[in-house]
Amino acid sequence: MAAKILTSPFVGIAVFVTLLALFAFYYKPLSKQRLFTVEELALYNGTDQSLPIFLGILGSVFDVTKGKSHYGEGGGYNHFSGRDASRAFVSGNFTGDGLTDSLSGLSSQQVKSIVEWRDFYFRTYTFVGKLVGRYYDPKGNPTKYLKGVEAKAARGAQLLKKQEIEEAKQPGCNSRWSQDEGGEVWCDVGVPRLVQRPLEIALTGKMSKRCACFKEDQLSQPGLDVYEGCEYLAKTCRV
């Protein structure tokens, strides 16, 4: 008769604990993602080759190490590494005060663009945590400032849609530019005029005026400006 194998209940418990530990190691929950201070995030700016490269935008921190040629020391985007420079994504100011997470004074369309950049990093890189400060509190909860930014971005999307609808009603001009000849605008039908965008639409960060084509019987409408140096009924104007 085969001998019975006696197994202590403590062996089963030990195996269970080991498996639980392995699961916790390999499947870390999102709630455990790290909270960074400004000083801690600055360590991951690409200068220490033993550390990954992190970037912050709207308080969300991403591992961009796989883009080391761009975000590492000497790379074209290194000014974004080790900090939250959200404003610079639309301002183009990559020095001094331009490298800040403050969005004060930006239009709703510009804020919308920054939110879209954040979405790009969520899709393309690994989210590793949150930066405590303007956008997240010490517990990792969104601040009123972040909620305000997202509401302003939503408003920017609404205004952009309105702008597209309004401008579709009046055809825009054709345009071209070259370094040798400068720029010109022209209309296949009608003549070019500069027209003021509605105030709330102009505040989306786009130019406040645009070139549109008007037929001769529409030229008496108020707010239509003839390009300087251009004949009243000319179909092409130098700009």
SS3 content of the chain, % helix, strand, coil (to 5): 40, 20, 40
Q: Which of 13-17, 114-118, 218-222 has the highest mean pLDDT?
A: 114-118
**pLDDT at 168 (0 to 100):** 74
State the Cα–Cα distance between residues 221 and 71, nearest whole angstrom.
Answer: 52
**Together in a domain, 148 and 193:** no
The amino acid sitting at 26 is: Y
Average pLDDT over residues 117-142: 97
3 part of a folded domain: no
Residue 114 is inside which H or E element, if any? Answer: helix 108-124
- With respect to residue 93, please indicate whether it lies within any of the assigned structural domains: yes
- Higher-confidence residue of 22 and 38: namely 38
What domain range is 55 assigned to?
A: 35-160
pLDDT for the residue 78: 96
Q: What is the mean pLDDT of the chain?
A: 84
Q: Does residue 184 contact residue 237 with C-beta atoms inside 8 Å?
A: yes
Looking at the fold, whether 69 and 124 belong to one and the same domain comes out as: yes
Convert the pLDDT of each residue in 89-105 to its tens digit: 999 899 888 999 999 99
Do 147 and 198 reside in the same domain of the chain? no
Q: For 158-162, 163-167, 175-179, which range has the lowest pLDDT when averaged over its residues?
A: 163-167
The pLDDT score that the predictor gives to residue 1 is 47
CATH classification of the domain holding 92? 3.10.120.10
Q: Could you tell me the pLDDT band of residue 198, with boundaries at 50, 70 and 90?
A: low
Does 202 have pLDDT greater than 70? no
Q: Do 86 and 177 fall into the same domain?
A: no
| Helical packing angle, 108-124 and 144-168, nearest 10° | 110
